[in-house]
């Protein structure tokens, strides 16, 4: 088949068509857009997203920037003056819709028969006595203390809501410019989903622009040192460039938006796509050295004959692994699976058609030095040593692997899933610092709203809201709970004296509640209520702010609210960005499990088909199971959380890592067929094929190592873990599998006989 394809005129088609396809796929790349909105990673029909949408439709969409100011004492005249100036400048900006800070929160209270309504800070204190007086006032003001000023008076929070129709970067830049110009060099921190989105957007774009060329350069250098011949670099790189370009072009073409993990796509493609071409070039160089009289056509066709089968098989298993991601629930994971499996398929086809089509038209190259010199490299020495140990002490090796396996297995129980999106950034990042401060001093970064339905002015409804509020306030994790019932209680304290019966109580008549609300509408800002109750007073929400470090802490609050909703007449459901986040975490776990199972089953089936033996298929999965357990075990022990990026890696690692075992089986089988003993077969295999797969594995690891330069923490972690996993797959293939075979030779020997 190859012979016919590689003759004129087909040969030209094989060269021109991929180039045209590549150029065609570059066009949609102009529409590349990164979507850093994590909530869109979940399918639209997810219940938590639908609930959030329903609540946002009534109570408006909230997507504020949070700025935290730090000072030795926030009540110092200079600090307050600056915060006030920032508040005013932001309020005046056309981009900002409203600003909430210590300067526009109120101080509503009852005193000596009066109801007093003042701003929380009426005047900036002039001296120490006034400052201490203000401190006392703030400590007694539930609308300011621990909401806008921290308990230790070191931090003050400003919540900035942008106008609609402006981009995240416009909003962030305006805010930063105003804050920087007034706050000067003093410390401040920014937080909020909007800010995180903007940071991800910028860092992901930077990564795409910087990492891609670096990865390509690394590959070029690696290929040059491997082959020391121009064609050895250019031909595999052409495959890499075309298949990576097509994969990237497919994204906008299929209507996919670039997510934070889309940065992985080009890096994955650059690392993996050269694998197949390398085998062709390597074999060509080998045959060129050993058959000086053969023609170029003979060498190319013979190279194809020798390596086509293992290349196709390893290609198929890699595609199977990556394709496992299509059952992932998170959309970017699914999309990465689809795009990369198409890209890798193309790389496989190009390596078998495009490279030979060009190679066959070239003159014979110089013989590679490494084929002339019989010197042993470090890799050769290590492999030789490994082969000796494996053959002589298989039992000891198996025990060592077993111990590592068990230790790792225990670590899995310590594995956590990430529920905090800000953990995408490094610990020193602004957003991590601000999250720490908010969790420690301001009641947490998680928000949930509980929807109540009914006649909201009915005391029974308000009573239930109050009940939920008190229930949640009793929990340690809860920061603040606010609703119509809390406002009514504040008003009841201001409208009544301490010894009055109605003081700090929910009134027991509908009229009284209606009058409290009407009075507030008359004297206050009616928009204050719109955050809690709809226009017709048929729906209202209780807003809960809390902190949660892990899924267990999350669930303890969510389950409490759910239990309340189940037994309540008026509380209907809970919604909020934090529940969407939790659903994302669950989707990461489930997606991880589904994709892993699919990848595993497909790979077992492929191995079964390739080696026509179910037992060999199962043996082939041992390195995979070992790698997965060690990977999750390491994550558990090291406290690395499962996140959107790390949930992709096991499927990808399996797909790539299985190649090493396939090459190994293939060679051992061949040597046994050539009447070698098992020990001899293993020794030959490790020092020949072993060398090839080691170099191949290191090239892939080198490709992924570029991600260490990423500005996004989870991508760096991904790089570390995938390199660790690939290394394990390699070690398993080179050491564990031969050791098992030495202990149970019938697994492979018997099958050879059977096959014959």
Partner 1 sequence: MKKQIILITVLSFLSFNLLNAQDAKEIVNKSTKAILSDAMEMTSTLKIYDNKGNVRTRQVKNTTKKFADATKTIIKFLSPADVKGTGMLIFDYEEKDDDMWVYLPSLKKTRRIVSSEKSSSFMGSEFSNSDMSKPKMSDFNYKLLSTETINGKVYYKIETTCKTAETETIEKFKRKITYIEKNTYLPFKTETYDKDNKLIKTITMTDYRLQSTGKYMAFKMTAENNKTGRKSEIIITNLVTSSSLDESYFSTSNLEK
The secondary structure element, H or E, covering residue 416 is none
- Select the span of 117-125, 126-134, 241-249, 642-650 touching partner 1 (CB under 8 A): 117-125
The answer to whether 117 contacts partner 1 (rule: CB under 8 A) is: yes
In angstroms, the CA 740 to CA 371 distance is: 32
**Region of 73-81, 191-199, 371-379, 502-510 interacting with partner 1 (CB under 8 A):** 502-510
Q: Tell me if 476 contacts partner 1 by CB under 8 A.
A: no
| Residue 164 or 753 having the CB closest to partner 1 | 164
User: Is the Cα torsion angle 492, 496, 499, 500 positive or negative in sign?
Assistant: negative
Give 179's contacts (C-beta < 8 A, 6+ positions apart): 67, 86, 188
Longest dimension (CA), the chain: 111
Compute the least distance from the CB of residue 58 to partner 1, in Å. Answer: 10
Interface residue with partner 1 among 10, 12, 114, 225 (CB under 8 A) is 114
Residue 4 vs 122, nearer CB to partner 1: 122
Residue 432's CB is within 10 A of a number of other CB atoms, namely 19
Nearer residue to partner 1 within complex by CB, 521 or 688? 521
Q: Quote the least distance from Cβ 494 to partner 1, whole Å.
A: 8
Which x/- pattern, by CB under 8 A, does the window 429-468 give for partner 1?
----------------------------x-----------
Distance CA 588, CA 582 (A): 10
Residue 133 in contact with partner 1, rule: CB under 8 A = no
Q: Which two tokens stand for residue 689?
A: 């094929």
Residue 333 backbone dihedrals phi, psi, to 5 degrees? -65, -45
Please calculate the CA angle 266-268-272 and round it to the nearest 5 degrees.
120
| 615/612 Cα distance (integer angstroms) | 9
Nearest distance in Å: CB 571, partner 1 = 23
Give the nearest distance from C-beta 518 to partner 1 in angstroms.
Answer: 5
Q: Which residues contact 738 (CB under 8 A, 6 or more apart)?
A: 387, 390, 391, 394, 664, 668, 682, 685, 686
Whole-angstrom Cα distance, residue 304 to residue 365? 17
CB 648 within 8 A of CB 315: no
Kindly list the strands in the beta sheet with 478-482, ordered across the sheet, starting from the edge strand earlier in the chain: 478-482, 539-546, 446-453, 571-575
Which one, 525 or 677, has the nearer CB to partner 1? Answer: 525
Give the phi and the psi of residue 160 in degrees, each rounded to 5.
-115, 115
CB of 127 to partner 1, least distance (A): 21
H or E segment and range at residue 361? none
By CB neighbour count within 10 A (0-12 exposed, 13-18 middle, 19+ buried), where does 286 fall?
A: middle
162 binds partner 1 (CB under 8 A): no
Separation CA 679–CA 596 (nearest Å): 34
Helix (H, G, I), strand (E, B) or coil at 457: coil
From residue 80 to residue 109, the character string flagging contacts with partner 1 as x (rule: CB under 8 A) and all else as - is --------x---x-x-----------x---
Indicate the residue among 423 and 493 with the shorter CB distance to partner 1.
Answer: 493
Stretch that binds partner 1, among 61-69, 112-120, 201-209, 459-467 (CB under 8 A): 112-120
How many amino acids of this chain bind partner 1 (CB under 8 A)?
34
Q: In whole angstroms, what is the distance from residue 526 CA to residue 520 CA?
A: 7
- Closest to 451 measured CA to CA, from 559, 561, 324, 341: 561
Q: What is each CA distance from 568 to 50, 471, 518, in whole angstroms?
A: 21, 13, 27
- The values of phi and psi at residue 116, to 5°, are -110, 125
Closest approach of partner 1 to the CB of residue 52, in Å: 19
294 near 580, Cβ under 8 Å?
Answer: no
In the bound state with partner 1, the residue whose beta carbon lies nearer, of 39 and 496, is 496
Tokens of residue 471, six digits: 């229930």
Q: Kindly tell me which of 222 and 537 has the beta carbon lying closer to partner 1.
A: 537
Give the torsion sign (CA, 32, 33, 39, 44).
negative
> Applying CB under 8 A, which of residues 536, 566, 567, 675 lies at the interface with partner 1?
536
Instruction: Give min distance, CB of 522 to partner 1, in A.
Output: 5
Task: Please report how close the Cβ of residue 176 comes to partner 1 at its closest, in angstroms.
Answer: 20
What is the nearest approach in angstroms of partner 1 to the Cβ of residue 181?
17
Q: Which of 24, 43, 119, 213 binds partner 1 (CB under 8 A)?
A: 119
Which of 24/526 has CB closer to partner 1?
526
Q: Is 498 in the site for partner 1 (CB under 8 A)?
A: no
Minimum CB separation of residue 106 from partner 1 in Å reads 7
Minimum distance from residue 174 beta carbon to partner 1 (Å) = 12
CB 333 within 8 A of CB 595: yes
Instruction: State which residue, 188 or 516, has the beta carbon closest to partner 1.
Output: 516
> SS3 of 255, please?
coil
Which string of x and - marks every residue 506-535 that binds partner 1 (by CB under 8 A)? Answer: -x-xxxx-xxx-xx-xxxxxx--------x
Cβ nearer to partner 1, comparing 413 with 535: 535
- Is residue 495 close enough to count as binding partner 1 by CB under 8 A? yes
Give whichever of 447 and 503 is closer to partner 1, judged by the CB atom: 503
Closest to partner 1 by CB, 84 vs 562, is 84
Residue 113 touches partner 1, criterion: CB under 8 A: yes
Cβ of residue 146: shortest distance to partner 1, in angstroms? 22
Tell whether residue 116 is a contact of partner 1 (CB under 8 A).
yes
What are the residues binding partner 1 (CB under 8 A)?
Answer: 88, 92, 94, 106, 113-119, 122, 457, 495-496, 502, 507, 509-512, 514-516, 518-519, 521-526, 535-536
């Amino acid at each position: 088949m190859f012979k016919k394809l590689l003759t004129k005129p087909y040969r030209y088609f094989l060269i021109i068509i991929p180039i045209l396809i590549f150029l065609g796929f570059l066009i949609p790349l102009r529409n590349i857009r990164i979507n850093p909105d994590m909530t869109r990673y979940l399918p639209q029909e997810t219940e938590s997203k639908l609930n959030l949408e329903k609540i946002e439709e009534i109570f408006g969409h909230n997507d504020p920037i949070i700025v935290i100011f730090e000072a030795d004492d926030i009540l110092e005249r200079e600090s307050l003056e600056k915060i006030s100036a920032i508040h005013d400048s932001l309020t005046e900006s056309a981009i900002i819709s409203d600003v909430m800070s210590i300067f526009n929160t109120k101080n509503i209270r009852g005193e000596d028969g009066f109801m007093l309504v003042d701003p929380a800070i009426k005047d900036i204190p002039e001296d120490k006595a006034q400052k201490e007086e203000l401190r006392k006032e703030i400590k007694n003001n539930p609308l300011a203390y621990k909401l806008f000023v921290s308990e230790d008076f070191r931090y003050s929070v400003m919540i900035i809501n942008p106008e609609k129709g402006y981009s995240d970067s416009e909003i962030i830049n305006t805010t930063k410019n105003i804050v920087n110009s007034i706050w000067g060099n003093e410390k401040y921190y920014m937080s909020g989903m909007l800010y995180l989105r903007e940071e991800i957007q910028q860092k992901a774009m930077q990564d795409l622009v910087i990492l891609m060329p670096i990865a390509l350069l690394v590959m070029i250098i690696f290929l040059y040192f491997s082959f020391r011949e121009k064609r050895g670099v250019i031909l595999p790189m052409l495959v890499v460039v075309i298949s990576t370009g097509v994969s990237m072009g497919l994204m906008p073409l299929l209507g996919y938006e670039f997510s934070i993990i889309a940065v992985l796509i080009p890096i994955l493609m650059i690392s993996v796509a050269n694998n197949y071409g390398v085998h062709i070039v390597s074999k060509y160089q080998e045959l060129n050295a050993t058959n000086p009289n053969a023609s170029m056509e003979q060498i190319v066709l013979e190279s194809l004959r020798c390596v086509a089968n293992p290349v196709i098989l390893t290609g198929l298993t890699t595609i199977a692994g990556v394709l496992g991601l299509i059952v992932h629930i998170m959309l970017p994971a699914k999309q990465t699976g689809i795009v990369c499996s198409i890209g890798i398929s193309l790389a496989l086809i190009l390596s078998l058609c495009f490279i030979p089509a060009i190679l066959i038209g070239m003159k014979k190259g110089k013989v590679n030095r490494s084929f002339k010199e019989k010197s042993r490299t470090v890799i050769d020495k290590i492999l030789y040593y490994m082969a000796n140990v494996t053959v002589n002490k298989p039992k000891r090796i198996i025990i060592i692997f077993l111990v590592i396996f068990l230790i790792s297995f225990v670590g899995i129980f310590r594995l956590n899933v990430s529920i905090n999106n800000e953990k995408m950034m490094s610990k020193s990042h602004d957003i991590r610092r601000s999250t720490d401060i908010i969790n420690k001093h301001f009641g947490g970064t998680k928000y949930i709203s509980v929807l109540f339905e009914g006649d909201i002015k009915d005391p029974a409804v308000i009573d239930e809201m109050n009940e939920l509020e008190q229930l949640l306030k009793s929990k340690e994790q809860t920061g603040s709970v606010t609703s119509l019932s809390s406002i009514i209680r504040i008003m009841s304290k201001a409208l009544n004296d301490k010894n009055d019966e109605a003081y700090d109580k929910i009134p027991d008549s509908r009229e009284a509640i209606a009058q409290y609300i009407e009075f507030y509408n008359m004297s206050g800002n009616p928009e204050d209520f719109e955050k809690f109750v709809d226009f017709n007073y048929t729906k209202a929400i209780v807003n809960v702010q809390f902190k949660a470090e892990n899924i267990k802490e999350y669930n303890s609050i969510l389950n409490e609210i759910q239990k309340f909703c189940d037994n309540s007449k008026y509380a209907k459901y809970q919604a909020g960005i934090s529940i969407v986040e939790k659903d994302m975490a669950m989707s990461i776990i489930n997606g991880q499990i589904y994709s892993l199972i699919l990848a595993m089953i497909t790979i077992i089936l492929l191995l079964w088909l390739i080696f026509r033996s179910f037992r060999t298929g199962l043996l082939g999965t041992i390195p995979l199971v070992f790698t997965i357990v060690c990977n999750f075990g390491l994550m558990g022990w090291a406290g690395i959380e499962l996140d959107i990026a790390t949930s992709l890696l096991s499927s990808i690692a399996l797909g790539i890592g299985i190649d090493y075992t396939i090459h190994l089986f293939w060679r051992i089988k061949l040597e046994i067929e050539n009447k070698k003993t098992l020990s001899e077969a293993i020794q030959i295999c490790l020092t020949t094929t072993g060398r090839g797969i080691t170099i191949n594995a290191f090239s892939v690891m080198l490709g992924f190592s570029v991600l260490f330069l990423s500005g996004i923490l989870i991508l760096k972690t991904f790089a570390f873990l995938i390199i660790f996993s690939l290394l394990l797959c390699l070690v398993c293939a080179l050491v564990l599998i031969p050791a098992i075979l030495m202990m149970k030779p019938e697994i492979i020997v018997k099958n050879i006989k059977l096959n014959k």
